[in-house]
Structure 1
């Protein structure tokens, strides 16, 4: 049995670091992260329209802790198959980091790259590979938006026709490889997103 420890929200198991931010799971729930993913549909919190007359509370859809772990597990497996040392990040629609996974020996720059790709995909609702070519120009451009990164490797997670999260991967020698790893994470939950 592998030894698992949790310190300040970081789960370390077999050379893998997992940061579980704002997903509200216990150590007992987090420990199975290295186990194979189950094929159960992803769970999201349903969106509800604000009451007529300008209600003060709105509800939004977010990925469940189980869905976050399945995304991470599938992306890690794809990175392993490809022999890549990467970081996988998942952010919610507001850009809040919900999950960070680093493979062994992933470079220190890969975390920021993955997070920014996930942020960009969630914010624009498109894979970052599609945004990369149209982000430039003269003067101020969308590249100037803080926290964005217009390199391939970020994919949006959509529910009900709208983005609810973004998955970003950083560290492979080509953005297309990062994006393939992110797509593997997305496929792990696609069936349960609507």
Structure 2
């Protein structure tokens, strides 16, 4: 076979079956996102922390946002950025912070547009699949924001599968 004919045959060959058709992805629904955000804000309020909770879908697009009574205005942006970071990286922001601290190759991750690499962002999973993420901002420490984010996920966990 001539080289040009071989190249033409490769270019015209059908794509593998996996590359054809539509991609089906699951993502968190708006009602579940709103419920998770409310549960996170409630959990923090019960501990005396005034926070905002944001939930994003699997692509990092905002689905729900709840600013608790008395939460600072900066908490809106921080909660949203933590959720976006967790969804984008498919892991918790506390784990990302640790990776940045210990891995020189990850040192520039905080420079990524929209990322906030401090505790308080967690992915929301349906089985092993990330379907969204929650971010909480306003507690006096990322570990406390993490606890409230986990409370938000716990409220909806049974309905994620």
| Contact 2:82 2:134 (8 Å CA) reproduced | yes
- Secondary structure of 2:17's match? coil
Q: Which has the higher contact order (CA 8 A, sep 6+)?
A: 2
| TM value normalised by structure 2 | 0.81
Q: Quick one: which of 46, 52, 61 aligns to 1:96? A: 61
Partners of 1:160 and 1:179 in 2: CA distance: 20
Hey, which bits of structure 1, 4+ residues long, moved more than 4 A?
none
CA deviation profile, 1:114-172 (whole Å, cap 9, x unmatched): 11110111111211111112225479622221111110001100124121111000011
Matched, 1:81 2:43: no
RMSD in angstroms over aligned alpha carbons? 2.0
Partners of 1:125 and 1:100 in 2: CA distance: 20
Q: Which residue of 1 aligns with 2:140?
A: 173
| Contact 1:125 1:162 (8 Å CA) reproduced | no
User: CA 1:151 to 1:139, structure 2 compared with 1: closer, same or farther past 3 Å?
Assistant: closer
User: CA 1:139 to 1:128, structure 2 compared with 1: closer, same or farther past 3 Å?
Assistant: closer
| Contact 2:55 2:63 (8 Å CA) reproduced | yes
Task: Give the drift of 1:104.
Answer: 1.4
Q: Which residue of 2 aligns with 1:161?
A: 128
| TM value normalised by structure 1 | 0.68
Count of residues in correspondence between the two structures? 144
Partners of 1:139 and 1:168 in 2: CA distance: 21
Matched, 1:146 2:99: no
Unaligned segments of structure 1, at least 5 residues:
1-50
Partners of 1:65 and 1:113 in 2: CA distance: 20
Unaligned segments of structure 2, at least 5 residues:
1-15
| Contact 2:99 2:106 (8 Å CA) reproduced | no
> Which structure's residues are more often helix, by fraction?
2
